Amino acid sequence: MYRYDEFDRRFLEERVAQYRDQVRRRLAGQLSEDEFRPLRLMNGLYLQLHAYMLRIAIPYGSLSPAKLRVLARIARRYDRGYGHFTTRQNIQFNWIKLEETPDILAELAAVEMHSIQTSGNCIRNTTADPFAGAADDEIEDPRPWCEIIRQWSTLHPEFSFLPRKFKIAVSAAATDRAAVRLHDIGLYLRRNAAGEVGFEVLVGGGLGRTPMIAKTLRDFLPKHRLLAYLEAILRVYNEFGRRDNLYKSRIKILVQALGIDKMRDAVEREFGAMGESALPLPPATVAAIAAHFAPPTLAAPGADDETELARALAQAPALARWVRYNVAPHRAAGHAIVTVSLKPPGRPPGDASAAQMELLADLAERYSQGEIRATYEQNLVLPHVRRRDLPALWRHLGEAGLATANAGLASDIISCPGLDYCSLANARSIPVAERLSRHLAARDQEIGELHIKISGCINACGHHHVGHIGILGVDKNGEEFYQITIGGSADENAALGAIVGPAVPSAAVTGAVDTLIGVYLDLRREGERFPDTYRRIGAAPFKEALYAAA
């Protein structure tokens, strides 16, 4: 994991001191809310329905035990004992007091964390494959590149006041676990015909009011030119992106307006004008950063590891089920990647209590080389677990309510905070997710992989557009209704869902989802996931089943 140097540490200390003085002046009446609001937002502090909300950046989703323990401490000391992991691999605390925020930021700074650029029209936290550095299907660890982007984009003076917020995701794996195609810039590390590794650069993805899948801008960009190329894209966006209309200000709208070919021309022109020497990434610099992400030294598997594990699996069906769904292959023999579900049936997706965070910090030290990852699907990951330790880890997780065997299944629902917390929402999300997960949990295995995603407003923090089944809360004359989409996907075959028909009232959502799942179960062929069946048979059977009785 990247460690701050003296410059980083001093900068954060100065930033906390600056913010402490800003809060003091606000509370003393020397700053108006209009003056203070942009200052607090620059430090990730929003005002929501019930309190201030602090959004804390987790760079590319990577956490150490020390960082997670501080998040637990913040939950316990300054919040109501829990935190909410978000769809941008960040964490939010919903019950924060303004007067305590300088102390919180100081506690974060002590473990090299902050809330800078978690709000505002700037480059936000870069997200990444949560299995990075462990996955058996990646060509190299993408995290050094995420860290290079983080250092370049943090407080970048030219890109601090973009037309709108800007999000970048990076993956180096065959399976896209970072929703790369739904970002303003998506980066896939690829190997070209010559065997060299570089970036496929995509641009113009995003959800919200106008959802779009990113298009390829460059098939192959040499790695050492990454920052220059990103800078060229940002310059084009900064110059030509719309500032007159909030709803048309994201880069996806610019790409749509210009067309990908003209966008490419503009970027390449800017890139060419910068010259070969612009923003160099010398091998020594890259190597120095990559050294922070050196693979852990993993013990060779013991001769009887698999035999022991097989015996444990045979004795405990619940363990076997958890291993089947929550454990993924590791690139190192005898090891595995464990997804810790934060989706117990009937509970708010993505919430973790202080006690759970502390336990996970302990378990990461004991079983996962001191590494924890946050996923955009609002779960946590222990990336380096020895397979023979899986039964013991499962038991510890189970004692804390963290062994739900549902990763990627119907009850593993993504949900934004919705109208229970968020001042932008039109409808509640969490109660819908709770009802659905409670209802679907018993059928998870029968249904198989199914991604249900719920947003409480068109801003789409719950990624509803790319849910296999997406649910969007809308306000109809003061009543909560929910618009349902089907056929979306956030992976390497990203697709936007199609609206199946008129929105349904809150009480009808579970039944509607049940009906859609019923059509899928009736018509699926061997090995088909929900989106596969949808693509084969189209929307008509689903629509007929859902609205035939109406």
Partner 1 sequence: MPHGPIAAASRPPMAAVATRRTVTGNRLRDGVPVYFAGAGRWSPAVAEARHVAEAEAGALLAEALAGPPPHPVIAPYLIEAVLRDGRLVPLGLREEIRAFGPTVRPAES
Nearer to partner 1, 97 or 292 (CB): 97
* Angular region, 447: left φ>0, alpha ψ -120 to 50, beta rest: alpha
In whole angstroms, the minimum distance from the beta carbon of 525 to partner 1 comes to: 37
Our finding on whether 245 is near partner 1 (CB under 8 A) is no
- The piece of 50-58, 214-222, 314-322, 487-495 that touches partner 1 (CB under 8 A) is 50-58
Report d(CA 63, CA 71) in Å as an integer: 10
Return the residue of 227, 352, 450, 469 that touches partner 1, per CB under 8 A: 352
Applying the rule CB under 8 A, the residues between 487 and 526 that interact with partner 1 are: 505-507
What's the closest the beta carbon of residue 428 comes to partner 1, in angstroms?
A: 7
Contact between 513 and 435 (Cβ < 8 Å): no
Contacts of 259 (CB under 8 A, 6+ apart): none
* Window 402 to 441, contacts with partner 1 (CB under 8 A): 419-421, 427-428, 430-431, 434
As separate numbers, helices (DSSP H) first and strands (DSSP E) second, the chain gives 18, 21
Does 33 bind partner 1 (CB under 8 A)? Our answer is yes
- Which residues are within 8 A (CB) of 33 and not within 5 positions of it... i.e. 6 or more apart? 26
Position 550 contacts partner 1 (CB under 8 A): no
Q: Taking the complex as a whole, how short is the minimal distance between the CB of residue 289 and partner 1, in angstroms?
A: 35
Q: What is the DSSP string of 26-58?
A: HHTTSS-HHHHHHHHHHTTEEE-SSSEEEEE--
Name the DSSP letter for residue 524: P
CA distance 323 to 310: 11
Contact between 250 and 214 (Cβ < 8 Å): no
Residue identified by tokens 């059928």 is 443
> Which two tokens mark 263?
């966008």
Q: What character string, x for contact with partner 1 (CB under 8 A) and - otherwise, covers 125-164?
A: ----------------------------------------
Q: Least distance in Å: CB of 296 to partner 1?
A: 30
Site size toward partner 1 (CB under 8 A) is 45
Binding mask 364-403 for partner 1 (x = CB under 8 A): -------------------------------------x--
Please list every residue from 214 through 233 that binds partner 1, using CB under 8 A: none
Residue 443 Cα to chain centre, angstroms: 26
351 binding partner 1? (CB under 8 A): yes
Q: Which stretch binds partner 1 (CB under 8 A): 187-195, 273-281, 307-315, 472-480?
A: 472-480
CA distance 109 to 112: 5
Q: Which of 1, 41, 47, 278 binds partner 1 (CB under 8 A)?
A: 47
Query: If we measure between CA atoms, which residue out of 459, 415, 461 comes closest to residue 437?
Result: 415
Q: Which residues bind partner 1 (CB under 8 A)?
A: 26-29, 32-33, 47-52, 75-76, 80-82, 96-99, 347-348, 351-356, 401, 419-421, 427-428, 430-431, 434, 475, 478-480, 505-507
